[in-house]
């Protein structure tokens, strides 16, 4: 079984910043912070972003506050998605359909998004049905923890046919590459997010592509 673990933002879709806008609006309105601090989003987990925001504003990083931020974010995300002109990235739908037509390929997610945030984003863009399992950013402050969760989910999904030597992570940030190394996976890095190919090359992915538009090239690489 070939296992493919896809990142979401900057790899499958570009939401035009809808996720960040929904999160910041939730923080502003539900926590009364007029000017939330700028914290890095790219490659981070939602749990980690929450911790950073709380720390910047000296808010207790408690389960209750985290739940309040999640609830506020998930309520606003469907409102922001249609406003932002996001899109499915080039070649993604064609690639997923081709992969699905192949035997012995398991397609999952390895994302810093909340599980429900991933579902809302991918459903909005008509991609959610393609992913049977995943690792998510609800609990892990660090992407390496998400990678471990994704592998455990892949193993369970494969029901005995999981092959730890045939796991790929497909992502758009240096953090996707480093978390893949933590699970001994290969990496296809794609320069459709915030990081240009030259910068991704510094992290030594196994394969580096400008985008996923050439389905044959991608499928030949992932084997």
Q: Pick one of 120, 130, 172, 187: the residue that binds Mg ion (CB under 5 A).
A: 172
In angstroms, what is the minimal distance from the CB of 101 to Mg ion? 26
Shortest Å distance, C-beta 194 to Mg ion: 8
The yes or no reply on residue 46 touching Mg ion (CB under 5 A) is no
**Residue 148 near residue 110 (C-beta atoms within 8 A):** no
* Rounded CA separation 1/47 (Å): 31
Stretch touching Mg ion by CB under 5 A, among 9-17, 29-37, 125-133, 144-152: 9-17
**Does residue 10 belong to the site contacting Mg ion (CB under 5 A)?**
yes
Binding residues among 137-166 for Mg ion as defined by CB under 5 A: none
Q: How far is the CB of 12 from Mg ion (least distance, A)?
A: 9
Helix/strand/coil (H/E/C) assignment for every residue in 67-98: HHHHHHHHHHHHHHHHHCCCEECCCHHHHHHH
Binding mask 185-204 for Mg ion (x = CB under 5 A): --------------------
- Alpha helix (H) residue ranges in the chain: 18-31, 46-56, 63-80, 92-100, 115-124, 143-158, 174-182, 197-201, 215-221
Residues that bind Mg ion (CB under 5 A): 7, 9-10, 172
């Amino acid at each position: 079984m070939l296992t493919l673990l896809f990142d979401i933002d900057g790899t499958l879709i570009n939401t035009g910043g809808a996720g960040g806008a929904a999160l910041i609006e939730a923080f502003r309105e539900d926590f009364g912070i007029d000017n939330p601090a700028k914290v890095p989003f790219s490659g981070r987990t939602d749990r980690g972003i929450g911790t950073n925001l709380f720390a910047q504003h000296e808010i207790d990083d408690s389960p209750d506050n985290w739940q309040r931020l999640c609830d506020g974010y998930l309520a606003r995300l469907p409102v922001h998605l249609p406003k932002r002109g996001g899109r499915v990235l080039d070649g993604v739908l064609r690639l997923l359909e081709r992969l699905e037509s192949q035997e012995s390929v398991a397609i999952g997610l390895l994302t810093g998004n909340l599980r429900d945030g991933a579902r809302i984003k991918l459903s909005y863009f008509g991609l959610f049905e393609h992913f049977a399992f995943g690792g998510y950013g609800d609990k892990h402050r660090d992407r390496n923890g998400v990678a471990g969760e994704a592998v455990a989910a892949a193993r369970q999904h494969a029901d005995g046919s999981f092959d730890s030597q045939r796991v790929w992570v497909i992502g758009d940030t240096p953090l996707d590459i480093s978390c893949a190394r933590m699970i001994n996976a290969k990496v296809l890095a794609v320069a459709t997010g915030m990081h240009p190919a030259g910068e991704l090359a510094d992290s030594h992915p196994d394969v580096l592509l400008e985008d996923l538009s050439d389905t044959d090239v991608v499928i030949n690489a992932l084997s």
